[in-house]
Amino acid sequence: SKPIRIAPSILSADFSRLGDEVRALNSAGADYIHIDVMDGHFVPNISFGPIVMESIRAQTTRPFDVHLMIAPVDLYIPAFAQAGADIITVHAEAGPHLHRTVQAIKAEGKRAGVSLNPATPVGVLEHVIADIDLVLIMSVNPGFGGQNFIPESLVKLRQARDLIGERDIDLEVDGGISADNAREVAAAGANVLVAGSAILSGNNPAHYAPRIAAIRDA
Ligand code: DX5
Ligand code: ZN
């Protein structure tokens, strides 16, 4: 099975010193930097776009794991690719042509991910699974950090793990992840764990390495 990767979400960063936060996560052992892009339309919050993302690209060597909570999305894929994304994840619910969207990400030479909201069944992935590099199971309703983990997500992780089978595809979980539930999401098949508030709350860089280590050890 794949190694466990920890992906801190900069949605919980102190944006007044975003570059410092990204450098601190880099040295604290983050495997990926998780970047939450929100448009105030697909989700009820607005975060930032490719200009801000590009401004922090040089602050870390870690892959940028870009979670696009925007609709429509196809139009913006080249901009996120050019701004330094390594993995581009879109929501299955964000448009009527998921297959086309996945191909647009791959046409940019990036790894393609598909995310599912809590109410969306895993079966929607059946006919794109062979084309994607990552499945992201949302374990909260997207839009905000600091929400509680939805326990039903464990069922969906197991279903997604079964669908992935022997394919070389990451299974990521996002929302309400902490050292308290890291073990059970990993046991359900997740190998990429996103955590925002569990790592960044308080925005004290001295906390980041021990908090990342605590999730990894769990
Ligand atoms: C939610 C975002 C998450 C969020 C996670 O819409 O996709 O990445 O920042 O934050 P926590 O870990 O605090 O739930
Ligand atoms: Zn996210």
CATH code (residue 66): 3.20.20.70
Our count of domains for the chain comes to 1
The answer to whether 162 and 29 have CB atoms below 8 angstroms apart is: no
Q: Is the pLDDT of residue 11 over 80?
A: yes
Range 161-172 average pLDDT: 98
Q: Hey, which residues are catalytic here?
A: 36, 174
Ligand 1 atom nearest to 138, measured from its CA = 7
Report d(CA 119, CA 113) in Å as an integer: 18
Say yes or no: CB of residue 102 within 6 Å of ligand 1.
Answer: no
Say yes or no: CB of residue 142 within 6 Å of ligand 1.
Answer: yes
146 is in an annotated binding site: yes
- pTM: predicted TM-score of the whole model, two decimal places: 0.98
Mean pLDDT computed over every residue of the chain:
98
Closest CA to 154 of 171, 133, 142: 171
Report d(CA 125, CA 52) in Å as an integer: 31
Range 43-48 average pLDDT: 98
- At residue 85, the pLDDT reads 98
- At residue 218, the pLDDT reads 95
Count CB neighbours of 17 within 10 A: 13
Q: Is the pLDDT of residue 1 over 80?
A: no
Q: What angle do CA 10, 186, 2 make, to 5 degrees?
A: 90
113 is in an annotated binding site: no
Nearest CA to ligand 1 atom 4: 145
List, for residues 71-115, the tens digit of each pLDDT value: 999 999 999 999 999 999 999 999 999 999 999 999 999 999 999
List, for residues 20-39, the tens digit of each pLDDT value: 999 999 999 999 999 999 99
Q: Which domain, by its residues, includes 163? A: 5-217
